[in-house]
Structure 1
Amino acid sequence: MKIKDIQIGRISVPLKTPFKTALRTVNSVEDVIVKIVTDSGSVGYGEAPPTGVITGDTTGAIIGAIEDHIKKLLIGKDIENFEDIMITLNNCVVKNTSAKAAVDIALHDLYGQRYKAPLYKLLGGYRKEIETDITISVNSPEEMAEDSLKAVKRGYDTLKIKVGVDSSMDIKRMKAIREAVGYDVRIRIDANQGWKPKEAVYTLRKMEDSGLQIEFVEQPVKAHDIEGLKFVTDNVSIPVMADESVFSPEDALKIMQMRAADLVNIKLMKTGGIYNALKICSMAEIYGVSCMIGCMLEAKVSVTAAVHLAAAKSIITKIDLDGPVLCSEDPVEGGAIFNERKITLSDEYGLGIKNVNGIKWINNHI
């Protein structure tokens, strides 16, 4: 099964409601789709969102990295020589993690097809079904409380609340949400780098003193401020998760060695795909650090890949893969089955994706 061609296209999927964080507001998923065609007729799909404020990767950068660097080095390679392909992919261009992730996902899709197994079984096969949280965008306390209550009525028992926009207002937001949903619902918060270290400690202690029962706080400070992250971790009782601070296995190792965070969030668009994400999982197992699997605003191709990784590994104990349920439509045929908080994998080979509708191709499409 040799790589014959790598095709690139774009999809646009409207969101049900605007997605608001401390970093951005988004109204639709605008992703790059990768389709790898082999000489045996097998096809592997990958996907990457342009998330410039987090990864630095724009649509043009993703397309350029694949066309100018990745594609020409992978054409002709055999899927059986998977380690060689992964080494080539990771060394062909510096950074550009989203482009690498899209190709990595498509390659893993083909790897599963080559050995006639669902990808999660090849990666570990720990479980077949997982449960995700759902994200509540940052708005006024009243609107967030209403959105949280709607999510609970839909069956979600874990809410991920976006904060990081005005710390005093964040406390009011959390009080309103907790009052609305009660204490049988797990609440985790994501500051998206929105606080300074001392501000984070003050805000989180206020939340502790108010008895808000926060499961954990995600990325309270700037991504580069590892010392600040550790300062927060050392000075609050609420567990701290590193997200934007962790792109590479090297980043994860540093944070684990420093005990700068209690938890680590793995996202394929940061790691460059499954290959490096597996390395972070192995480190986490050694250091006893639980992981969450997360996603950017992505459609179902790349999120299905994340589901397979989450299903494969027991060290991934927290799931934040609500991207597809935030979309108003699903252009993907096959893949993971999303039923609100429950996500189930089929026994189809690879990722189990049959087709992606509505792709606007930007290079020669066979």
Structure 2
Amino acid sequence: MSDPDLKIASVTTTIIDVPLIRPHKFATTTAEAQPILLVAVTTEGGVTGYGEGVVPGGPWWGGESVETMQQIVDRYIGPYIIGRGVDEISGVMVDIERIVANARFAKAAVDVAMHDAWGRALGVPVASLLGGAFRTGVDVRWALGAAPLEEIVEEVTHKREQRLNYSFKLKMGALDPVVDTERVVKIVEAFGGEVGFSIDVNARWDRFTALRHVPQLVDGGVELIEQPTPADQLDVLAEINRRVAAPVMADESVQTPHDAYEVAKLGAADVVALKTTKCGGLQRSKQVVAVAKAAGLRCHGATSIEGPIGTAASIHFACAEPGIDYGTELFGPQLFAVELLQKPLDYSEGQVHLPEGPGLGVELDMDVVKKYARS
């Protein structure tokens, strides 16, 4: 039985639209602002924890949006968990599966908010609830836009000089594949092998296109190939993985523990992009990592372009989970044009560092939140 002070008294949601420092190009859309569903879970003891419902660029990625997530939380999940303890996360998340299918991004927001509230109530960081932090920072790869070569070179040079990021990801899939491949190879060549680059096609190429252009990218110096083909075509992804020397990373293909099992069974990838959002929260993320590691796969701490709350949750997860052993791309707040926290997350020396303090260890600037909240 939970301590009465740990029982959930209310669950509220707010949608905010956060402007970005520059347009962020995905394979099918371009984002100039990031919508975030902010979920607040308040206990009978007066402690409030926060989580974020965030999808990368809108419903094109997995079918959810901040609007659908808000309806799911407000009408179904929120009322259902009132009276449950924030220290009952495992049981609560299992029970939620019975009333809401899929909707993993919405569930992740609730999962993180409960972890934050529980940690705050106990006076311990979320990492401690996940087994304890064994490191205090993780490497962060920066994602570049679809800008001209000169602008990309300038952006990479600036990030390196400021010691913010030392490795970089290039988005592909929006342009003609021939043009796109030539563009990426020129960018990689511009740095003469001194900078590590990965590419992400967001599952937009078919088998023929991928088999033609992925080897060209690897020959051109790209060091990691992320999800070139559709999520459900694991046989094609496995064929690509067998043909190239560079590691292949599965993102859209892995959202559940069973997905990780299937990828490993078919040899479809060497690395799993682990997003705490797409997995449904921190509890489910641990299950996905466990399967991946048992099968010999590496795990990369990926992002849905979360704000500082979601990013802080992923930092706690990565710092407490040895299975996240292939770096991260937890750059979300670096892409925001405004600061949502009273004290920003610490990005330095190519890493993002674990926030100190109970719960997620971060405090929202509610004046800024109110400014960008939807009416």
Cα drift, residue 343 of structure 1: 1.2
Deviations 1:185-242 (A, max 9, x none): 21111111122223212212123334x1x22111111122112111211211121100
8 Å contact from structure 1 (residues 304, 335) kept in 2: no
Q: 2:209 aligns with which of 196, 199, 203?
A: 199
Cα drift, residue 300 of structure 1: 0.6
> Are 1:66 and 2:73 an aligned pair?
yes
> Partner of 1:166 in structure 2?
176
Cα drift, residue 286 of structure 1: 0.8
Moved more, 117-126 or 66-75: 117-126
Measure, in 2, the Cα distance between the counterparts of 1:148 and 1:335: 22
Cα drift, residue 169 of structure 1: 1.8
Moved more, 90-99 or 307-316: 90-99
Q: Give secondary structure in 2 for the equivalent of 1:325.
A: helix
Q: Give secondary structure in 2 for the equivalent of 1:40.
A: coil
Cα drift, residue 335 of structure 1: 7.3
Amino acid at match of 2:178: S
> Partner of 1:240 in structure 2?
248
> Are 1:92 and 2:99 an aligned pair?
yes
Measure, in 2, the Cα distance between the counterparts of 1:328 and 1:215: 30
Deviations 1:31-89 (A, max 9, x none): 11001110111110001124301121122211110011101110001123332222123
> Partner of 2:114 in structure 1?
107
Deviations 1:71-130 (A, max 9, x none): 111000112333222212333201111111111110111232243321113323221111
Q: 2:21 aligns with which of 16, 23, 37?
A: 16
8 Å contact from structure 1 (residues 148, 181) kept in 2: no
Amino acid at match of 1:320: E
8 Å contact from structure 2 (residues 202, 226) kept in 1: yes
Cα drift, residue 153 of structure 1: 3.0
Distance verdict in 2 for CA 1:239–1:326, change over 3 Å: same
Q: 2:338 aligns with which of 329, 334, 337?
A: 329
Measure, in 2, the Cα distance between the counterparts of 1:22 and 1:80: 40
Distance verdict in 2 for CA 1:221–1:96, change over 3 Å: same
TM alignment of 1:226-265, pairs within 5 A: 226-265=234-273
Cα drift, residue 142 of structure 1: 4.2
8 Å contact from structure 1 (residues 252, 280) kept in 2: yes
Cα drift, residue 8 of structure 1: 0.6
Distance verdict in 2 for CA 1:21–1:341, change over 3 Å: same
Cα drift, residue 356 of structure 1: 4.3
8 Å contact from structure 1 (residues 248, 271) kept in 2: yes
> Partner of 2:297 in structure 1?
289
> Partner of 1:6 in structure 2?
11
Q: 2:274 aligns with which of 236, 243, 266?
A: 266
Deviations 1:293-340 (A, max 9, x none): 111122111111011111111221220111100111111235743347
Moved more, 330-339 or 288-297: 330-339
Distance verdict in 2 for CA 1:153–1:177, change over 3 Å: farther
8 Å contact from structure 1 (residues 204, 238) kept in 2: no
Moved more, 327-336 or 126-135: 327-336
Q: Give TM-score, length-normalised by structure 1.
A: 0.93
> Partner of 2:352 in structure 1?
343
8 Å contact from structure 1 (residues 197, 231) kept in 2: no
8 Å contact from structure 2 (residues 86, 115) kept in 1: no
8 Å contact from structure 1 (residues 15, 326) kept in 2: yes
> Are 1:25 and 2:30 an aligned pair?
yes
8 Å contact from structure 1 (residues 120, 311) kept in 2: yes
Amino acid at match of 2:190: A
> Partner of 1:176 in structure 2?
186
> Are 1:43 and 2:48 an aligned pair?
yes
Q: Give TM-score, length-normalised by structure 2.
A: 0.90
Amino acid at match of 2:204: G
Measure, in 1, the Cα distance between the counterparts of 2:87 and 2:104: 23
Measure, in 1, the Cα distance between the counterparts of 2:157 and 2:182: 16
8 Å contact from structure 2 (residues 12, 74) kept in 1: no
